[in-house]
Amino acid sequence: MVKKYINKWDMISVPKFPESIKCKLCKKDFIPNQCNCPFCGQETDISYIIRKQPRPVLIWIGQLNWIDSIAFGIPLSSVYTSSLFKVKIKIEDCNFFNIPQEKIRPSTAIINQATRFSGNTIKIKKIFGKLTNLVIQEEINNKMFEWFFREL
């Protein structure tokens, strides 16, 4: 039996991402699929109303594969705005597998929205690409470590 492992720099799709976001002001986590009613202030979960689309995610792992190390999923966005914790990824920086050419677009790795993954949370149907540019990989590594230790 051959086991298929997720490796660092693989790109996958996940059904929802991120689970929570840290507030810049108070530093507490909140769930983005909840909001307060503008009339009474009651917190309401809206996730069952809004259909969640699969989100492309770049896998970042400290070791060779997620079994040996801590793993993070870095969301990939098609929108780019300059920021300390964002890295622009061009199409030529990656290898894509079995994707129609018209669906391939440049993306932005949003480091400060990375979410911890574990073996139980990563359920892959398909790895759709791999980040291959060593310079971009090193830039993401540096920004990940800067983001990790910034909170200490």
The dihedral over CA atoms of 19, 135, 63, 59, expressed in degrees to the nearest 10, equals 30
Tokens 């440049």 -> residue: 106
Residue 125 has pLDDT above 90, yes or no: no
The type of residue at 89 is: I
* pLDDT for position 49: 43
85-110 confidence digits (pLDDT tens): 899 999 999 999 888 888 888 899 99
Residue 13 has pLDDT above 90, yes or no: no
17-61 confidence digits (pLDDT tens): 555 566 778 877 666 666 777 788 887 766 544 445 678 889 988
Look at the domain 10-17+55-150 and name its fold. SH3 type barrels. (2.30.30)
* Interstrand relation of 115-117 and 21-22 (parallel, antiparallel or unpaired): unpaired
The type of residue at 45 is: D
pTM, entire model: 0.70
Report which of 33, 36, 29, 11 is spatially closest to residue 137, judged by C-alpha positions: 11
pLDDT band at 65 (very low <50, low <70, confident <90, very high): low
How far, in Å, CA of 144 to CA of 83, rounded?
13
Each domain of the chain, given as residue ranges in start order, spans 10-17+55-150
3-state helix, strand, coil in the chain (%, to 5): 20, 35, 50
